[in-house]
């Protein structure tokens, strides 16, 4: 179950919420955790009989952790203009090193590389509960006007 901090920071909700709790936060980084229970619907069709978490969903967990991190980093800017939302603009150097299976715990760390105006550059890394690297990725987001609902 996601903590209130996560639910207040980003609009994502189950079944498309891929972080459960924030483990650690600093001015430069955030580490979140996700327990992969095996009851997720995607396991039924992604390698049936040998379930593997899709890489795109592991990546999404990184981007969601990044969005939670940005709520504090950009609090003043976002408060000053409530229509601004961080939007993923670039993904580079995504590398998958091991598979994620039901029962795994993921530790997702995002680190600020650089902030230039409304562009934010970050690194993401995911390790399993045994400390083995699952993936790494470099990505950027930009603050953009959201569409009025």
Number of domains the chain is built from: 1
Task: Render each residue's pLDDT in the chain as its tens digit; 149 residues.
Answer: 578 889 988 888 999 999 999 999 999 999 999 999 999 999 999 999 999 999 999 999 999 999 999 988 888 777 778 778 889 999 999 999 999 999 999 999 999 999 998 899 999 999 999 999 999 999 999 988 876 54
CA distance 67 to 65: 5
The residues carrying an active-site annotation are 46
- The pLDDT score that the predictor gives to residue 10 is 87
Assess contact for 136 and 93: CB atoms under 8 A: yes
CATH number of residue 9's parent domain: 3.10.129.10
Write the secondary structure of the chain as one string of H (helix), E (strand) and C (coil).
CCCHHHHHHCCCCCCCCCCCEEEEECCCEEEEEEECCCCCCHHHHCCCCCCCCCHHHHHHHHHHHHHHHHHHHCHHHHHHCCCEEEEEEEEEEEEECCCCCCCCEEEEEEEEEEEECCEEEEEEEEEECCCCEEEEEEEEEEEEECCCC
Give the range of the structural domain holding residue 38, as residue numbers without chain letter: 4-145
């Amino acid at each position: 179950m996601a903590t209130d901090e996560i639910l207040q920071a980003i609009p994502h909700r189950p079944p498309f919420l891929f972080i459960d709790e924030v483990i650690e936060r600093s001015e430069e980084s955030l580490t979140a955790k996700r327990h992969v229970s095996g009851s997720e619907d995607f396991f039924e069709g992604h390698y049936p009989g040998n379930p593997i978490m899709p890489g795109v969903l592991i990546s999404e967990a990184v981007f969601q952790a990044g969005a939670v991190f940005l709520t504090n980093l950009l609090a003043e800017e976002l408060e000053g203009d409530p229509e601004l939302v961080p939007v993923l603009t670039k993904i580079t150097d995504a590398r998958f090193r091991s598979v994620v299976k039901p029962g795994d715990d993921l530790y997702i760390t995002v680190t600020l590389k650089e902030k230039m105006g409304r562009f934010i550059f970050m690194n993401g890394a995911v390790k399993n509960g045994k400390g083995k690297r699952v993936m790494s990725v470099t990505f950027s987001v930009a603050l953009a006007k959201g569409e009025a609902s």
